[in-house]
Amino acid sequence: MINRRAVYVFRLPDEKEFTGMALDVHMHNGNLRFFDTNRGHEIEGKVTAETEDGFTFTSAGAIPGEWRFKVLTIEEFKRKHYKLVEGGEALATKIKTTDDLHEWYRREFKI
């Protein structure tokens, strides 16, 4: 089940790495909606698989194909994704849990 309060990283079709970040992820009228810290997105398609740590979405609109979303954990943030945030290195040393990380994103981006 998609957790609207979680922060996800995503991988586009034909990409090997998770490079995008998604907040406030949810389905609305058959479309996937999320905010990428810069702007909102609404993509036609459907959730085709769910796992414990994320889900697969098949886009029938923008960038067609299979998008993979997974919950951003504090461990993965500290290992790699801190580079996507201004001041991320300092943030990675202060925040200790995945829940605190997600709360920081919601507060910082007013989601």
pLDDT confidence bin for 110, thresholds 50/70/90: confident
Structural domain including 43 reads: 8-71
CB of 7 within 8 A of CB of 71?
yes
Task: Tell me: do 19 and 57 sit in the same domain.
Answer: yes
Give residue 46's pLDDT: 96
The reported pTM is 0.93
Q: Give per-residue pLDDT as tens, 4-16.
A: 999 999 999 999 9
Task: Tell me: do 20 and 50 sit in the same domain.
Answer: yes
DSSP bridge pairs for 78: none
In this predicted structure, the answer to whether residue 64 has a pLDDT above a threshold of 90 is yes
Q: Report how many domains make up the chain.
A: 2
In this predicted structure, the answer to whether residue 57 has a pLDDT above a threshold of 90 is yes
